[in-house]
Structure 1
Amino acid sequence: MDVSVSVSVSELVTWFTAHNGIFDRSALTFAQIDGLGWGALALRDLQQGHTLFSIPRHLTLSTRTSSLPSLIGEADWKRHGLHIGWSGLILCLMWEAAQGSSSRWSTYLASLPITFNTPMFWSSEDVEQLRGTAIIERIGREQAENDYLNKVVPLLKNRTDYFGDEHANLHYSLEAYHIMGSRILSRSFQVEAWSATYNVDTSQTPPHEDPEMSLDKHSPQALDDNSSDEDEDKDSDDGENDDPANVAMVPLADMLNARYDCENAKLFYEEHFLRMATTRSIRRGEQIWNTYGDPPNSDLLRRYGHVDQVPLPCGGSGNPADIVEIRADLVMSSVGAKCLQQASPRSSERIDWWLEEGGDDIFVVDFSAELPEELTSFVRLLMMSDPEWAKTKRKSKLPKPKVDDAVLSVVADVLRRRLAEYPTTIEDDEALLGTEKEKPIPLNVKNAVVVRLSEKRILGNLQRAVTTRLGGDPSESKSSVSSRKRKADGTDADGHRAAKR
């Protein structure tokens, strides 16, 4: 994890302990790690359940702990829409930075990075390397700038009592807004509200928890993605974890690196503290890894600016969690082509019904080369005759995901169309990476190639399985194109739910 050079790590730890943070200096240190920036290393052998450090809740930075929302007033805060989405927290970070040394978080904020390798800051030429992936639609730069202009700027102009007449200075510029937003995207945790009986007067020292207290099994939840404020508002009824007030910056916890299937430490809740503790034994000199929930490289690149490359069971290296998204409109086009008919009001009616019944408009495939049940069911829905559709609608039950040659034929066409959305072929990308030692590739381009190559391999694996099945090869395993369910966000049961976004 990158850290700004304006504040040394020793200064950061000193600030942390001066504000009642508990840090086991005998257990870990932060050091520069090749290719990973700053990370945590074990100074001695550590057993599972060892507390590395504990962060007082008042030292987390959120719209709950920053004084800005209360200074502005709830009515004005909500009138400008700052209670929805990330804009409020971004403004709090900008305001705290503008306070300089008078802010409780001045040292922490000075330690955070000001440059990022995420696509948000790429040139248009580099972004073009991501064509075909879902990353481009989720970069969110345009949405962020709309929120800045429509929410933040009006408040800056209306409340010069706190922001001054020169509100457009460096602390409140659009560039600063993007930087603070990227800090939140790459480093924040979901920290739920603590007990109402806890005194949030930060002038008082919260009681220290017993370091030997058993681990709290309720782990923090991660913010989903760079969704718009409007989307987050619509999802706010799903649970407390959708509350933007739960998003918080957590000093020191955000300095641990992560890698696929390497987690050996995790952040746990306690009433007054968040506690980083080991989840398995760690040997002296080993890196202490947090978890990002093992997301695919497309998410890692968009959120954190890097990709994972670990040995794959099928050979080579990459990220075993990689996935590919297939849009419903692409499936519609293939069904229309195969059935010699164009989309009609009737197909629109079926799609509306599909969504009302809980179906999704994105289908996810991975390295297993298995058809998602949802994709199979959706194809069958679109291919139904009118009488079959009427019967299905009356039953109010999604079609069974039965795989036959008609479905496989449509899927084969979908895969062909999906692969054609990438600017290069598998062979092109493999050749490009193969010559990297002799001719180094710019980091952004390399990361883009790693992401799109993995996605194309996933699609190619499924394409071969479908083609073989259509050809009637008796050696083909029936399971290779069987249907199965997978969450559309590409996570497992707890997915990205136990760590940073």
Structure 2
Amino acid sequence: MDSFTSWFESRNGTLDSTSMTITEIPGHGRGAIALRDIPEGHTLFTIPRDLTLSTRTSALPSLLGNVEWKRFGLDVGWAGLILCMLWEEAQGPLSKWSGYISVLPSEFDTPMFWSLTELEELKGTAVVDKIGKDDAERDFYDKVIPTVQSRPELFPPKSKHLHYTLENYHLMGSRILSRSFTVSKWTDDLENVEPSGDASANGANGNVDNTGMEVDESPINGAEQEPDSMEESEDEHVEDIDDPSDVAMVPMADMLNARFESENAKLFYEQHNLKMITTKHVKAGEQIWNTYGDPPNSDLLRRYGHVDVVPLCAPLTGEGNPEDVVEVRADLVVSAASNASSEHLQERIDWWLENTDDDTFIIGTDCQLPEDLISFIRLLLQTDMEWEKTKKKSKLPKPSLDAEVFPVAIELLVKRLSEYPTTVQEDESLLNEPSKLTTRKRNAIVVRLGEKYILQGTMNELHKSREALRASEKDKNKRKSSHHSDATTTSKKARR
């Protein structure tokens, strides 16, 4: 890493080499280690804004021209940034970022690069549908290739098959997904710089969903960072970023690893610089961690190719990711509510979508049914008269659990569990023999098992709630019966 550090400092980056070093860390790849005890609030390194790599700082957009840039759709999603990275790489030592691009990872364990057999291990999870490989390849052929072919003076034909390939496009997209930040233009009221590394905005290797790092307000004129991997800026890489030009690669900052609730440094910004500053006291020999914002394992795997496993909190037991979630599709809810009247059912579904635009429900490790899911179940179970009142008031049903909702909710969880090809017991047995598992298979098992724990835990909580409701109703009826008996006795005494 000496050559990278030399490049970084030659480009006006500053590094406190007495406090930290970048080195290989077993099980974590490259990362930052504290060389001495570092106090909270200490600046580890500073990156000039013009050393970040984005569509704002690369020369390509201006060379191509704004009109052409937009004509080819490079102003939407990650395709523009990926093309800039491909072009900068093609410039070799002439590129301002040559010393940075040369040390970026060239292999990833993210599902984007898995075989079909490996992807089968993720069946039942929402990961596969979010990889965005098809969308990424569509952007490559519809945006990048036409751009490259239109300007041979910028993209020499001899370099086309060397640099502007689909393989390289996916590689650059994955680098953005796992390492980028959201770096907005400086304004007096700017407060945050966010990690951007995911995709869901239609561009890069998929879409962009903003999950990279985010930069928050600096204790000294700036903002702090929280990695987001731009999770969905482009489906595979960035999720809905307001301005794709905010997505940037940040040399040195992306060398720090992240782990659940371990963050001890964040990226802060000032008008002309970004600064990595410690947020806690860091002891000599400890790893310096940035943060991903603690996403679920499904997102960690999709964006970064790894998972986090720590002790879980009640009502769950064992180990997993406390931020794990399970996605439940609305069509599965409709299927579970099979006893609902079919008359006007589609009308109710359309009304729900118009009023909520919500066709997926999220259950977390608290194992509680979300209120919107309960409300949707109640809508499906309404009588025609109740449905007419709901339409007239244009108000969602109250999210209250009752005897009618319980069986539908439990059936829904059973159906959702059946979408995984393996059981909890089978997955646990597989994890007990780690020597027989590849890293990818082990990570896939951890993801799907975490989701199954949530579904089983939620089912257990529903059974408890239903029994509590039954006990309450039984007690209420008993009190009514007792009250009626007392009233009858009193009446007889009065007649005497």
The reply to whether TM is greater than 0.5 is yes
Give the Cα separation in 1 of the matches to 2:459 and 2:66. Answer: 55
Greater shift in the superposed pair: 395-404 or 89-98: 395-404
2:9 alignment counterpart: 17
1:459 alignment counterpart: 455
Residue 132 of structure 1, aligned match among 124, 132, 154 = 124
Say whether residues 1:149 and 2:145 are aligned partners.
no
1:267 alignment counterpart: 267
On the 8 A contact 1:191/1:220 being kept in 2, the answer is no
1:288 alignment counterpart: 288
2:443 alignment counterpart: 447
User: TM-score when scaled to structure 2?
Assistant: 0.85
Residue 38 of structure 1, aligned match among 6, 11, 30 = 30
Give the Cα separation in 2 of the matches to 1:434 and 1:128. Answer: 20
Residues 294-333 of structure 1 show CA distances to partners (whole Å, capped at 9, x for unaligned) of: 0000000000000011122354221111111101111011
Structure 1, unpaired ranges of 5+: 1-8, 197-211, 236-240, 477-501
Cα drift, residue 386 of structure 1: 2.5
2:87 alignment counterpart: 95
Q: Which amino acid aligns with 2:148?
A: L
Give the Cα separation in 2 of the matches to 1:355 and 1:347. Answer: 13
Give the Cα separation in 1 of the matches to 2:290 and 2:353. Answer: 36
Give the Cα separation in 1 of the matches to 2:425 and 2:227. Answer: 39
Say whether residues 1:225 and 2:232 are aligned partners.
yes
Cα drift, residue 388 of structure 1: 1.7
1:204 alignment counterpart: none
Residues 388-413 of structure 1 show CA distances to partners (whole Å, capped at 9, x for unaligned) of: 22222222222210111211111101
Say whether residues 1:246 and 2:246 are aligned partners.
yes
Q: Secondary structure at the match of 1:363?
A: strand
On the 8 A contact 2:183/2:248 being kept in 1, the answer is yes
On the 8 A contact 2:11/2:51 being kept in 1, the answer is yes
Give the Cα separation in 2 of the matches to 1:99 and 1:463. Answer: 57
Q: Secondary structure at the match of 1:261?
A: coil
Q: Secondary structure at the match of 2:160?
A: coil
Residues 196-243 of structure 1 show CA distances to partners (whole Å, capped at 9, x for unaligned) of: 9xxxxxxxxxxxxxxx972634546843426459x97xx6xxxxx521
Say whether residues 1:468 and 2:468 are aligned partners.
no
Q: Which amino acid aligns with 2:453?
A: R
2:202 alignment counterpart: none
- CA gap of 1:193–1:217, structure 2 versus 1, over 3 A, is closer
User: TM-score when scaled to structure 1?
Assistant: 0.84
1:305 alignment counterpart: 305
Give the Cα separation in 2 of the matches to 1:97 and 1:164. Answer: 13
Cα drift, residue 421 of structure 1: 0.3
1:338 alignment counterpart: 339
Give the Cα separation in 2 of the matches to 1:408 and 1:146. Answer: 44
Give the Cα separation in 1 of the matches to 2:408 and 2:227. Answer: 38
Cα drift, residue 371 of structure 1: 1.2
- CA gap of 1:78–1:11, structure 2 versus 1, over 3 A, is same
The structure showing larger relative contact order (alpha-carbon pairs under 8 Å, at least 6 residues apart) is 1
Q: Which amino acid aligns with 2:432?
A: G
- CA gap of 1:262–1:213, structure 2 versus 1, over 3 A, is closer
1:492 alignment counterpart: none
1:322 alignment counterpart: 324
Residue 64 of structure 2, aligned match among 69, 72, 80 = 72
Q: Secondary structure at the match of 2:277?
A: strand
Q: Secondary structure at the match of 1:271?
A: coil
Cα drift, residue 30 of structure 1: 1.1
Q: CA RMSD in A?
A: 2.1
Structure 2, unpaired ranges of 5+: 189-217, 473-496
Residues 409-430 of structure 1 show CA distances to partners (whole Å, capped at 9, x for unaligned) of: 1110110000000010000001
Say whether residues 1:393 and 2:391 are aligned partners.
yes
Say whether residues 1:192 and 2:184 are aligned partners.
yes
Say whether residues 1:216 and 2:217 are aligned partners.
no
Give the Cα separation in 2 of the matches to 1:176 and 1:370. Answer: 43
Residues 13-67 of structure 1 show CA distances to partners (whole Å, capped at 9, x for unaligned) of: 1111110111111111112111100111111111111111111000000000000
Give the Cα separation in 2 of the matches to 1:289 and 1:374. Answer: 36
Percent identity of paired positions between Structure 1 and Structure 2: 52
Give the Cα separation in 2 of the matches to 1:370 and 1:302. Answer: 25
Give the Cα separation in 2 of the matches to 1:228 and 1:368. Answer: 27
